[in-house]
């Protein structure tokens, strides 16, 4: 009896040892797969970052075209006026100040571009409204070039227009304190992916009177940002796949298929939020939901 018991005990110990070894091996495989997935995701991020960089350089080209033309015209006028003694000191000063304003605005565009691609090492608390304004300064010329009307506003004022002010200085607006925690550059990349997808859909479908509307709202402890366009919407048979890696409805060579996938990763993993997509009667509706954070 004792011999049989000892034999059973030994067998149980052996089985337990084998089970522990199996669990250790399984955990190693799981950790290896996790690391592999993270490396793949990082490659996705880097690949998309290069694609976005090309788009933003194009945006700056559009943004600078008119100011550079204005600088040339003003400089030519000043040169001719000075040579012909047709300008006084006061008028010369006014034109010089105008030139400096143009240069300052162009410099601000470069600053926006730098923050767009700055990779922060730690998460930071930032207000989404200046972030959206900075992004729209970079892309507004591209949208205008495609005759796309853009409206960006919050929903706190009776006339819903205080978000449209260039410097956003309405002290009575409750959205002055819409702070979130995450990476500013990545947030702007998400904006880039959503807005440029809307623009591409509008162009591809030859939409008349095209519109992209960005609304900022707050629901309980969340910031809610919606992007609505009239570009025709997402086909119902693929709408559930649009956040999959390498999935795209664009023609070959016109899209990487990773923009929305990366966007969802950023919002979910780095901001603790949600990114969803749906259709309206006229187009697509993307919704970003982010948890608010309080000032320290």
82 has pLDDT over 80: no
Token pair recorded at residue 47: 């690949």
Q: Angle formed by the axes of helices 128-145 and 2-83, to 10°?
A: 60
Torsion of CA 285, 290, 292, 296, to 10 degrees: -130
Tell me if the pTM is above 0.75: no
pLDDT band at 14 (very low <50, low <70, confident <90, very high): low
**Is 188 within the bounds of a domain?**
yes
**Is 111 within the bounds of a domain?**
no
Please give the C-alpha separations between residue 267 and each of 77, 106, 275, in angstroms, as whole numbers.
50, 30, 7
165 has pLDDT over 50: no
Rounded to whole angstroms, the Cα distance separating 166 from 291 reads 25
Residue-range definition of the domain harbouring residue 237: 123-291
Task: Convert the pLDDT of each residue in 167-196 to its tens digit.
Answer: 444 555 666 678 899 988 889 889 988 998
Q: Which of 51, 75, 106 is the last residue of a domain?
A: 106
Q: Are residues 20 and 65 in the same domain?
A: yes
Total tally of structural domains belonging to the chain: 2
Supply the pLDDT for residue 166.
Answer: 45
Q: Are residues 52 and 23 in the same domain?
A: yes
Task: Convert the pLDDT of each residue in 108-150 to its tens digit.
Answer: 666 656 665 566 668 889 988 888 888 887 788 778 888 898 8
Range of lowest pLDDT (35-44, 94-103, 205-214): 35-44
């Amino acid at each position: 009896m004792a011999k049989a018991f000892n034999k059973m005990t030994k067998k149980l110990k052996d089985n337990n040892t084998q089970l522990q070894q199996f669990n250790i091996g399984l955990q190693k495989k799981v950790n290896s797969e996790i690391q592999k997935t993270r490396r793949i995701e990082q490659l996705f991020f880097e690949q998309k970052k290069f694609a976005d960089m090309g788009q933003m350089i194009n945006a700056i080209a559009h943004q600078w075209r008119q100011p550079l033309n204005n600088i040339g015209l003003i400089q030519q006028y000043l040169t001719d006026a000075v040579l012909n003694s047709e300008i006084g000191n006061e008028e010369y000063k006014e034109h010089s100040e105008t030139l400096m304003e143009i240069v300052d605005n162009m410099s601000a565009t470069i600053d926006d571009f730098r923050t767009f691609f700055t990779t922060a090492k730690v998460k930071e608390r930032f207000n989404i409204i200046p972030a959206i304004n900075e992004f729209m300064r970079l892309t507004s010329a591209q949208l205008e070039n495609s005759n796309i009307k853009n409206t960006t506003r919050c929903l706190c004022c009776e006339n819903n227009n205080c978000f449209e002010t260039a410097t956003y200085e309405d002290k009575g607006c409750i959205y002055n304190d819409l702070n979130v925690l995450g990476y500013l550059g990545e947030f702007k990349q998400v904006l880039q992916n959503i807005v440029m997808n809307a623009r591409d859909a509008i162009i591809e479908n030859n939409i008349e009177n095209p519109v992209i509307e960005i609304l900022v709202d707050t629901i309980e402890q969340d910031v809610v940002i919606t992007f609505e366009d009239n570009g025709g919407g997402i086909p119902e048979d693929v709408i559930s796949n649009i956040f999959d890696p390498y999935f795209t409805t664009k023609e070959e060579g016109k899209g990487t298929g990773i923009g929305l996938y990366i966007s969802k990763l950023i919002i979910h993993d780095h901001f603790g939020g949600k990114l969803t997509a749906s259709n309206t009667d006229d187009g697509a509706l993307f919704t970003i939901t982010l948890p608010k954070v309080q000032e320290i």
